[in-house]
Amino acid sequence: MAHEIAIESLTREAFASFGDVLEIGTVEPVMINRGMCARYSDLAHLDFDAESRLGISIFDAKAYELPLQLEMLERHPDGSQTFLPTTQEPFLVIVALDKEGTPDKPRAFLTAPGQGVNYHRGTWHGVLTLLAPSRFFVIDRIGQGANLEEYWFTTPYVVKQSTLQD
Amino acid sequence: MAHEIAIESLTREAFASFGDVLEIGTVEPVMINRGMCARYSDLAHLDFDAESRLGISIFDAKAYELPLQLEMLERHPDGSQTFLPTTQEPFLVIVALDKEGTPDKPRAFLTAPGQGVNYHRGTWHGVLTLLAPSRFFVIDRIGQGANLEEYWFTTPYVVKQSTLQD
């Protein structure tokens, strides 16, 4: 089944080639506010071209159903893009390595509750792929230019619930 | 009751002197992802000194109980600070205008589910004041220097549940 994609659990290690996983437990926290709050600092590599800046937006998105026909991946050449969930609902994170300017075979990750993700600048990724409708805070580049490349697969991949691993 | 603070509902208008409320409904969205997602762009004024950069951190915080003794406000002279909830649980946002270098009488706001807040650079504010334990994504300045001023009130203010308005 060359065009099926197995869903993997999202971990910092597995995702390192694509971006950052925003979660606690990977850096030592600093206790602040007289012991009432643990601060886990600086968890994402934010990266954008000199002509732009970072902004915070809200994405209000519908849900997709599995099996999912994956027809397209996109990438943003001019900046990283961070997705921060506003609920504890897991969502799908679909990415691919670049192979001479087009995406290699995609990988699909299912987040654990509360994990956020930051796609490194230029990383091929699917659109925000929710399994339940939700809102996300998004930190990305605000500036001129399209900052978007799309790649449409000749034959769509299929992300299937039955291929859920772990 | 000069030292009691009434809790107000958080709205963009009421909060404008202190910072930004991150919520949908205040700007026109752009539809993306073939109609699956509404993007509400660039909702916060992010501001930091030239020697620093922005980072994303996680605050894992305990809850406070009402009535709350408000003893201290703080401010960050070198950058804005954004708090993005990871649940739909409301939280308290305590702020004050500056009056010749010290905070004027504080105001306390209760968020609606899902609202985030961005304190403008230099705005007096209370520490993250949750009514239920939770994690927040925080976008703030990463750089050298303390970037912190604290002001301790001679007589603490009291934020009371019984003073909850509307």
Task: Give pLDDT, residue B2.
Answer: 63
Q: pLDDT tens-digit profile of A41-100?
A: 999 999 999 999 999 999 999 999 999 999 999 999 999 999 999 999 999 999 999 999
B85 phi and psi, to 5 degrees? -70, 150
> A34, A36, A88: best mutation site toward chain B, by most B Cβ within 10 Å?
A36
Nearest to A127 among B33, B46, B139 (CB): B33
**Per-residue DSSP letter, B112:** P
Q: pLDDT tens-digit profile of B72-116?
A: 999 999 999 999 999 999 999 999 999 999 999 999 999 999 999
Q: Strands B107-110, B7-9: parallel, antiparallel or unpaired by DSSP? A: parallel
Closest CA to A44 of B142, B88, B87, B86: B142
State the architecture of B51-163 in CATH terms: Sandwich (2.60)
| Residue that wins the pLDDT comparison between B78 and B163 | B78
**Interval B142-157 mean pLDDT:** 96
C-beta of residue A54 within 8 angstroms of C-beta of residue B54: yes
**Interval A99-127 mean pLDDT:** 97
Q: Which residues contact B43 (CB under 8 A, 6 or more apart)?
A: A55, A56, A57, A58, B20, B22, B23, B26, B27, B118
Least CA distance to A61: which residue of chain B? B37
pTM over 0.90: yes
Radius of gyration of chain A from Cα atoms?
Answer: 16
Confidence of residue B163 (pLDDT cuts 50, 70, 90): very low
> B27, B56, B91, B117: best mutation site toward chain A, by most A Cβ within 10 Å?
B56
Task: Give pLDDT, residue A26.
Answer: 85
**Per-residue DSSP letter, A35:** T
Flag if B58 and A139 touch (Cβ within 8 Å): no
- Helix H or strand E segment including B14: helix B12-15
Task: Give pLDDT, residue B162.
Answer: 60
For chain A, what are the domain ranges?
1-45, 51-163
Integer CA distances (angstroms), A134 to A34, A61, A137, B18, in order: 34, 6, 10, 28
Residue B78 and residue A106: Cα distance in Å, rounded?
41
Residue % of chain A over a pLDDT of 90: 93
- Strand boundaries in B4-133, DSSP class E: 4-5, 7-9, 19-22, 30-32, 37-40, 53-61, 68-75, 81-85, 91-96, 98-99, 102-103, 107-110, 116-119, 124-125, 129-130
Residue % of chain A over a pLDDT of 70: 96
Distance in Å, alpha carbon of A51 to nearest chain B alpha carbon? 15
**pLDDT greater than 70 at residue B165:** no
Tokens 């654990």 identify what position? A112
Q: Strands A102-103, B7-9: parallel, antiparallel or unpaired by DSSP? A: unpaired
**pLDDT greater than 80 at residue A39:** yes
Residue B39 and residue B33: Cα distance in Å, rounded?
10
Task: Give pLDDT, residue A164.
Answer: 47
Nearest to B57 among A39, A82, A87 (CB): A39
**Interval B136-145 mean pLDDT:** 97
Flag if A60 and B114 touch (Cβ within 8 Å): no
**pLDDT greater than 50 at residue B43:** yes
| Residue that wins the pLDDT comparison between A144 and A163 | A144
Task: Give pLDDT, residue B160.
Answer: 87
Task: Give pLDDT, residue A2.
Answer: 63
ipTM given for this complex? 0.95
